[in-house]
Amino acid sequence: MSAIDQMFRQLRADGRKAFMPFITAGDPDLAFTGDVLRLLASRGCHMGEVGIPYSDPIADGPVIQASFTRALSAHVGLEQIMRAATSLTPSLPMPLVTMVSYAIVYRHGLETFVASARAAGFAGTIVPDLPIEESGPLARICRQEDFSLIHLVTPTTPFDRARRIADASSGFLYYVSVTGITGERSSLPAHVGEHVLRLREATPLPVCVGFGISTPEHVRLLAPVADGLIVGSALVRRIAEAASRPRADVLQDIQSFADELLAALPGGPAAPPRAVP
């Protein structure tokens, strides 16, 4: 049972939902990435998604694309990220997964990537541009290593195909709430809840929702039907301000934002908030 499986088992036993922030590794540098992850964990977040910078992302909007560009301009690569994670994860009270393009995984070698990620303390990976038809080799390695391979389902995915994707996934199933790219939205499509409930009936895996979630209202809308909520662009936009503002102030803004969204979950944060590290 992976760390992600254990996390969701405990949350379900407690009747709680997961709050799962996404941030880009190395934006503006890896030291600040560690500071943000430690802060988010201290506020009661349950799992962190760490984006591996890539020059040609297929589903990311301008905010996350810009963060990738900043990290790549600072020469942040996979090896540096793995070294930084190796130092960070032993003291981090929440599991981490990578969000990574298959081109990066393939270039490093499937077995090498999984072994390196596990050794660095990652519990799984999300590979958004890996078609289910081509996922077999990586899925086999992940199963052997008890390393979660998380696939995505979109609003336009036919239901039979969504079942196949769910069957090939481990850890959780990532439901994309909108048709399009990542980014903050003022409102979410009315069909999201219905689609998530249908997926939950089709798979024993937790179903988590991402893309567009950025307000307490979004959290209150989706928490009754989803097993977890993923917030990315709204956090990445705040992190970008570290280039022009004191980092302590940026961390305080991130803390306030995370606290606001966590408070909207049923039952609030899983643990009493602690001070900014």
Residue spans per domain, the chain: 3-263
CB neighbour burial string for 66-90, b if at least 16 within 10 angstroms, e if fewer = bbbebbeeeebebebbbebbeebbe
Number of other CB atoms surrounding residue 144 within 10 Å: 10
The pLDDT assigned to 211 comes to: 80
Active-site pick, 5, 27, 35, 60: 60
Listed residue (168, 232, 224) closest to 196, CA to CA? 224
| Amino acid, res. 176 | V
CATH for 3-263, options being 3.40.309.10, 3.40.50.1820, 3.40.50.1000, 3.20.20.70: 3.20.20.70
The pLDDT assigned to 275 comes to: 39
DSSP state of 230: E
The pLDDT assigned to 243 comes to: 84
Q: What are the φ and ψ backbone dihedral angles of 152, each rounded to 5 degrees?
A: -110, 145
Active-site pick, 27, 49, 184, 227: 49
Q: Which residues of the chain have pLDDT under 50?
A: 271-277
pLDDT (tens digit per residue) in 64-115: 899 999 999 999 999 999 999 999 999 999 999 999 999 999 999 999 999 9
The pLDDT assigned to 188 comes to: 66
The pLDDT assigned to 276 comes to: 40
Q: What is the pTM of this model?
A: 0.91
Query: Is 60 among the residues known to form the active site?
Result: yes
Q: Is the dihedral of CA 72, 75, 80, 84 positive or negative?
A: negative
| Amino acid, res. 193 | G
Query: Is 29 among the residues known to form the active site?
Result: no
Distance set, CA 20 to CA 55, 198, 253 (Å)? 24, 22, 17
The pLDDT assigned to 277 comes to: 38
The pLDDT assigned to 60 comes to: 65
